[in-house]
Chain A
Amino acid sequence: MLDRTHAPAFNTIDSLKIEHAQSDQLENGIPVYCVNGGTQELVRIDFIFPAGTCFQPKTLVSSFALQMLENGTINYTEEEIAENLDFFGSYYSTRTDHEHSYITLFSLNKHLKNSLHYVTDIIKNASFPEKEFKLLMTNSKQDFIIESKKVSVLGRRRFFELLYGNTNPFGKIAKENDFDELKREELYQFYKENYNLANCTILVAGKLPNNLFEILNENFGNENIKKINQLNWPELKIQSTAQREHRVEKPDAIQNSIRIGRLIFNQQHPDYFKFNILNTILGGYFGSRLMSNIREDKGYTYGIGSGLVMNNYTGLFMIGTEVGSDVSDLALKEIYHEIEILQQEKVPLEELQIVKNYICGNLLRSIDGPFAVADNFLSIWKMEADYSFFDHKIKAILDCTPDDIQQLAQQYLQKNDLIEVVTGKIQ
C-alpha cells in the first residue's frame, strides 16, 4: 500500500555550478560578454550604456532619451526601422534602471546580420525628429494620467519620493506638466553625452552563430573610439522624510495601497545575504509570514509581499500590498505584528530550512537557460563583483541561524525606522 502521508526523500542544493559568461572584446576594445547555450538558433544581444536615471538632469530625461532612439536616424525613418525589424521577425526593446540603459535585440540567427544593421544605426545615428518627439510626449502624458488613477502607482511614487527626497533622481516624481515642458534638445543632448561607444558593453546570449564577432565588428568594431577616463558616477544627495506616517487621499478607492519600508544597504554590505533571508521569511515567497497571515488566514488581500530594490548607491526594503479599504487599519496592525514576532521569537528551524531551500531553488532557476545565465552575470557585473559573490551567497544561506534572523529583525526593522504610506480611502 502506497503511503501518501510521507514526503519522498529529497536532495538539497549545497553548491551551484554556475556557467560563467566569457569575456571578449571587439577590435576597438568594446567589451563583449558571451553566454553560449540553448537549443534554438537565436540570440539576445544587450547594448548597455551608463545612461540610467542617476545621470539625468531632470525627471523623464533618461527614459525618454532611450525611447526616442528607435524614432528615426539620419539614415532611416521610424517607419523604415520598424518595418525592417518586423520583417526579419526581430524584437527590439529598451529599459532603464538607476545606473544603466539597455537596448536589447532578440533575433533568429539567420536574420541577425540584417536586424543588427538597424539597431546599430539606432545606437549610432539617432536623430530625434521633432514630430515623433511631440507625439511620444503627448501619448506618454496620457498614459501617465491613466496610471495616476491607480492607488498602487500613487503609493509607490510617494514612497520613493519620501525615502530619497525630491531632489534625488530616484525620488523626484514626474508631474503632468513635465511632459509639456520637456524639450527635444534636452533628450538629444543626453543621448550625445551618454551613449558614447567608448562606454558601451555588449552582452550576447543564446546559441551563438560562428560569424558573431565578424558581424559585431562590422557594426561596432571598426571605428576608433575615444578612450575616456574611468566613468564618474554622479554624487547624489538623499533626503529622507523625518515623519513616519503618510497618507495619500483617494476617497473613491475600494482598496488601499500600503507601502512600508526604509532605505537600507546594498548587496556589498556584509548583512545583505542574511537580510535577504529575513526578507524572504517575512514577505518574499508564497509561504511567507505576511502571505500566511494577511492573505491565507485573514483574506484581507489578493497578495502581499516584501522585497529589496538595489542600486549602486543604496538599497531599499519595502513591504507592499493592496487591501480592502475597510480592513486597511487591521492589515497595518497585522504587518507590524508579524515584524514584532520576528524580533521577539526565533524562527523555527523547520521554517528556516524551507526558506533556505526555496532560495537555493531560485538560484537554480536563475541559471536555467542562456538568457537567465546572462541576467545572472549582469547582476554581478552591475555591482562590479565577480562570481565569488554567489559562493558567498550560498555560504551565508547555509550558515544562517535563527539567532541571525532575530538579530537582523531587531537591528533593521524597528517600527520607528519604517516609513509608512497608505493611499486610498482614509478613515
Chain B
Amino acid sequence: MIHFEKFKLKNNLTVIVHNDTSTPLACMNILYDVGARDEDESKTGFAHLFEHLMFGGSIHIPNYDSPLQLVGGENNAFTTNDITNYHLTLPANNLETAFWLESDRMLSLAFTEKSLEVQRGVVIEEFKQRYLNQPYGDVWLNLRPLAYKKHPYRWPTIGKEISHIENATLADVKSFFKKFYSPSNAIMVVSGNVTTEQVKELSEKWFEPIPAGTKLKRELPPEPPQTEERKQTLYSDVPVDAIYKTYHMCARNDDDYYATDLISDILSRGNSSRLYLELIKNKQLFSEINAYVMGDIDKGLFCISGKLSEGVEMSKAENAIDTEIMKLQNELVNERELKKCTNKIEASLEFSELDILSKATNLAVFELLGDASNINRESEKYVKVTPHDLQRVAREILTPSNCSTLYYLKKQN
C-alpha cells in the first residue's frame, strides 16, 4: 500500500507527494505526457532527442548537472513511445535545489545551436550502439512497421532512421517544447523524506509562476484491425536463427490487460513456465524464449521471441510455439498454475515498493493513466482474472490473422 497526497497548482501542474521517513533521500519525478507516438512521421526520434536537449541548460541556469551534483544529487531520464520521464534523487535536506532546477527547465530551455549539434551526434552514436552495432539490435526497427500500418507505434523511440535526427532544426526544438513541455502536460511526484506542506510551499514558489500552457489533445490514427497474417524474413550477420511474433492486444487501461499479461507469465515467467519446460527443456528447440506484453498505453503488442537451438528447422520451432498457443485456447489453465502467476506478481509489486524512485515513477505513470490510487489496486486486478478469461483472451488475440512474424536468420556464406 502506497500512501500519497495529491494537489493541483493554479497552472494545472499535478503534484503528488509520497512520504517515506525511512530514507534520508528525496526523489523528484517529472513525467511529461509526450512520447514517440506524438511525433510527425517525417521527424521521428524527436521526443527522445528532445530529452537529451533538456540537459543542455535552461533559461536561467546554463548547466543542469553541475548544480545537482554539487548538492549530492543524481539524475536520469528515459523516453518511451508514450512518455518522457525525468527523475532525480538527492539528500532530502537539499530538496529545494531540485525545485529550482526542474522548474527552470519547465519554464524555458536555453535553446543553443551548440547543444543541438552535439546531442544530434550523441543520439546518432546511441542509434549505432544500441540498434545497429549489436546482433539482433535492429529487430524493432523492422518489426514495428510490420505490426503497425497506421498508428505511430510503427517507429521506435530512437526514430525510423538516422537522417531524421540529422535533420532536426532549432525551430523544431522550440515548437516541440512549446507544444508539450508545460505544467498542463506534466505530472510531478516528490517522494522520500519530505512533507506535503513543504512540497506544497516549494511547488507554489518555483512552479506556480510558470504559464499553464495547454493540455495536449491527442488525436492519433487508430491502428485498423489486422485481418491477414504478416511475415517478413531478414538475413543478417548473426550466429543463430531467431523468431519474433507479435499479436495486437488491448490498451493498458482495458480490463483485459491483466489477463493478457498473465498469459505471457504462464508462457514464460520463470523456469517452471510452459515455454521454458516444453520448448527449451523437453523438446530442446530453443536456447531461449520469452513471451511478454509491451505495456503500451494505446492498443499494444503481445510478443513471443526466441532463439533457435543449433540445427533446428524454423518450421518445427514455430509449430511448437503454435502448439502451446492452441493449448491455451483449448484447455483451461488450472487454478494452481494461475495462482502461481498471481503470487509472483504480488511479490514483485511488494519488491517494487522498496525504493522511493520506483514508487515515484510508478505513481506518475498511474496518474497519467487516470488515477494514481490505482497503483494500490493492481494486485487485486490480477487476482480477479479467471481461467475462462485467459482462454477467452487467448482465443481472441493469439490468432494467425492477428499475428506478424519476423524471421531473423543468419546469413549463409
Contacts and interface: CB of A to CB of B under 8 A. Distances in A.
Nearest to B91: A364
B240 A142 contact: yes
Interface in A100-137: 106-108, 111, 135
A10 B133 contact: no
Interface stretch (B70-78, B147-155, B250-258): B70-78
Contacts of A142: 239-240, 287, 307, 309-310
Interface stretch (B28-36, B213-221, B351-359, B362-370): B351-359
B49 to A, nearest CB: 12
A349 to B, nearest CB: 12
B121 interface: yes
A357 B287 contact: no
Contacts of B284: 135, 138
B69 interface: yes
Interface in B125-143: 125-126, 128-130, 132-135
> Looking at B65, B96, B119, B124, which has the most chain A CB atoms within 10 Å of its CB?
B65
Interface stretch (B173-181, B292-300, B340-348, B398-406): B340-348
Contacts of A323: 125
Nearest to A360: B72
A357 B125 contact: no
Contacts of A88: 343
A301 interface: yes
A97 B205 CA distance: 49
Contact of B272 (A83, A149, A302, A357): A83
A86 interface: yes
Given A8-B96, A38-B354, A86-B340, A357 B347 contact: no
A353 interface: yes
Nearest to B98: A8
A11 interface: yes
Interface string A1-27: 010110111111100000000000000
A4 B61 contact: yes
Contact of A362 (B74, B125, B238, B288): B74
B22 A37 contact: yes
Given A322-B129, A354-B70, A299 B94 contact: no
B114 to A, nearest CB: 9
Given A87-B339, A139-B280, A139-B309, 20 more contacts: A4-B60, A4-B61, A4-B107, A9-B96, A10-B93, A11-B91, A41-B350, A83-B340, A86-B269, A111-B347, A255-B133, A286-B65, A296-B118, A302-B125, A323-B125, A357-B69, A358-B69, A361-B71, A364-B72, A368-B25
Interface of A: 2, 4-5, 7-13, 37-42, 70, 78-79, 82-83, 85-91, 106-108, 111, 135, 138-139, 142-143, 145-146, 148-151, 252-255, 285-287, 295-302, 322-324, 353-355, 357-358, 360-362, 364-365, 368-369, 371
Q: Which 9 A-B pairs have the closest CB atoms?
A: A299-B121, A361-B72, A89-B347, A82-B271, A89-B343, A82-B272, A8-B96, A4-B60, A302-B126
